[in-house]
Amino acid sequence: MLTTATAEASRAGRARARDADSSISIALAGSGGSGVMTAGTLLLNAAAKAGLYGIMVRTSGPQIRGGEAAALVRLASHPVESLGDKFDLLLAMDWQNVGRFADEIPLEASSVMIGDPDEGEAPEGFSHSGARYVPLSLKKMTKAIPGSWPNMVALGLAGALAGILAEALEAALRDSWKKTDVALQANVAALRAGIAAAAGIDGPPKLVPGDAPSGKRWLISGNEATGYGAIRGGVRFVAAYPITPATELLEWMAPALTKVGGTLLQAEDELASINMIIGASYGGVPSLTATAGPGLALMTEGIGLAVSAEIPVVVVDVMRGGPSTGIPAKSEQSDLSFAVSGLVGDAPRLVLAPTSIADCLATTQWAVQLAEAMQAPAIVLSDQFMGQSRAIIDQPAESRLVGKRLTATANTPDYKRYRNTDSGVSPMAIPGTPGVVYTADGLEHTEGGIPSSQSRDHRLQLDKRERKLLQYDYGDAWADIQGDGDGAVITFGSATAAAREAVARTAERGIDVRLIALRLMSPAQPERLVRALEGVTRVLVVEQNHGAQFYRYLRSAFDLPGKPASFHRPGPLPLRPGELTEAIVQWWGQ
């Protein structure tokens, strides 16, 4: 029931949605097995076919499999990287445990909730938003079409209410079909029933399709983009242990590596994975592992070995809520401190962070290239938000950035594996090469690789390992910089998407700030940041963790103007453009 006041709010809300960014946000939620992920994926596929852009974020309860699940979809006629502030439409297959998503699926008075009245009442968490409830007997509609599934009715409903043409929806369904034709016919009928039902619903404003994009577009998840970036960079060996939310990255890479002549090996644990890739890379094959916080914790001794023995490896950390087992299927940027400083001894390492789903490809490819060039470990900080979300993106530019290692030529006279060169990088002998054999060692060593506890050798090798990372020319890719205001928002990783949207909104309100998203987190590039901050008097650091890890890191390793401010908040809820807009406005007003 709508009161007059909420009806007015609803109209106002609709007008806002149209003007602001012409995107539509749809949540498909239900118990595990209700097929919401399939419906969400097909909705995104259909949007792609219809010439739209979009993102789909997966969310589930702590049990990962079998509990409640939701597909959070945002569609627009322009590229979108983050979720919106509110959802225009919530489509619930059932209400069983969907109430647990009340925080993750914020509604407003102009929102519409569609739910099956036979599956119970809409939870308070949703209804108090004033959103309009439209009961619809999804199960009964499905029963009327033998062999069909309720999630396909939901797909029809959601697609039609978003403004996607029936042809695109049907094409997406047909393309995905692997089962019998009879079942396909039933589900096409279910889809059409959903589309028909949508016609009778006074839904949120539909998307106005823009001009069809001219270039080629991809539908890709952050995990897939990371995996493909690794292969483009030259990775041909992966060893890993399954862990949420990195598993899909590995599952994508397993067959992909076989196709390009590489191998993926499932290890017994993360201690094994890191040492396996170190062994493979010692053998001359660019190697990678992917994990999440708990696995990264186990890998620290191995990463230290890669530092000491100067063996290039790439470790992708798809960050999730921590500490310990934490919140496995939810995003958080809380492994930063660990990544930049969490090794024993003085252990220089590379740490990179992709700034978007699409950028997972370029940043991982770059990480492979850097690791190989400097014979050092590189940690790539992705996260659950980017990793497990799928997005429609413009085809990334072709890049021939391939890892190239300085190797020793056969029979080099007086070959020394850890020779103290000007660049700090010394030619690495690859097993099979005669006349340059050596022993790689995690013990401190002489230039020739013989264990040594002499202070001279220790200083020499510490300097060498530090120098090779500090002297390298990282070029312009160290950060994404946009705008030229006298204030700057500095962020990294998946927080960049929401921050970018917030900066665009505050610009409309007359607050011009620069956005600086660091891609190279370590080694710190203080001179580069100083140049990027020229003319800036105020800085706001934005990140998704409880301890303001990025803010503290920036303050310790960089020079920031004025009194830097911090906006930090832990997961599991994603950072939203609206809250960052408020944060910027507040900071600006101080």
Partner 1 sequence: MNDIASCAPRTAQSYKSSYKPIWCPGCGDYSVLSSITKALGMVAVPPEDVAVVSGIGCSSRIPAYTSCYGFHGVHGRSLAAATGLKVARPELTVLVTGGDGDGYSIGGNHFLHACRRNVDLTYIVMDNHVYGMTKGQPSPTTEPDWDSKLSPGGTGLRVFHPLVIALAAGANFVARAFSGDPNGTAEILAQAIRHPGFSFVEILSPCVTFRPEQREWKRQAHPAPVAATDDPARAARRIMTDDGYNIGVLYAGDRAPYPTTTGKSKRSPADLEVEFEI
Instruction: Kindly list the residues in this chain that would bind partner 1 in the complex (CB under 8 A).
Output: 48-49, 216-220, 224, 228, 231-232, 236-237, 239, 256-263, 265, 267-269, 271-285, 287, 301-302, 304-305, 309, 392, 395, 411, 429, 431-435, 437-443, 449-451
Q: Measured from the CB of residue 451, what is the shortest distance to partner 1 in angstroms?
A: 8
**In 83-140, at which residue ranges do the beta strands (DSSP E only) sit?**
87-92, 107-115, 132-135
> Which residues, at least 6 apart from 325, have a Cβ–Cβ distance to it below 8 Å?
294
Q: Measured from the CB of residue 563, what is the shortest distance to partner 1 in angstroms?
A: 44
CB-based contact 17:205 (threshold 8 Å): yes
Distance CA 308, CA 296 (A): 18
Nearer of residues 2 and 219 to partner 1, judged by Cβ: 219
**Closer to partner 1 by Cβ: residue 177 or 534:** 177
Q: Minimal distance in Å, beta carbon 53 to partner 1?
A: 10
CB of 358 to partner 1, least distance (A): 11
68 or 457, CB closer to partner 1? 457
Task: Report d(CA 345, CA 359) in Å as an integer.
Answer: 32
For residue 116, which of 150, 88, 163 has the smallest C-alpha distance? 150
Backbone angles phi, psi at 236, to 5 degrees: -130, 5
Name which of 90, 92, 128 is nearest 112 in CA terms.
90
Specify whether the CB–CB gap between 496 and 453 falls below 8 A: no
At 227 the three-state DSSP class reads helix
Closest approach, Cβ 514 to partner 1, in A, equals 32
556 Cβ neighbours under 8 A, 6+ residues apart: none
**Would you say 149 or 237 has its CB closer to partner 1?**
237
Q: Write out the two tokens for 221.
A: 């998840």
Whichever of 56 and 429 has its CB closer to partner 1, that residue is 429
Which of 427, 461, 428, 435 minimizes the C-alpha distance to 446?
Answer: 461
- Which amino acid is present at 432? G
Q: Which is nearer to partner 1, 15 or 260 (CB)?
A: 260
Structure tokens at 94: 């059932």
Minimum distance from CB of 77 to partner 1 (Å)?
A: 15
Q: CB nearer to partner 1: give 458 or 546.
A: 458
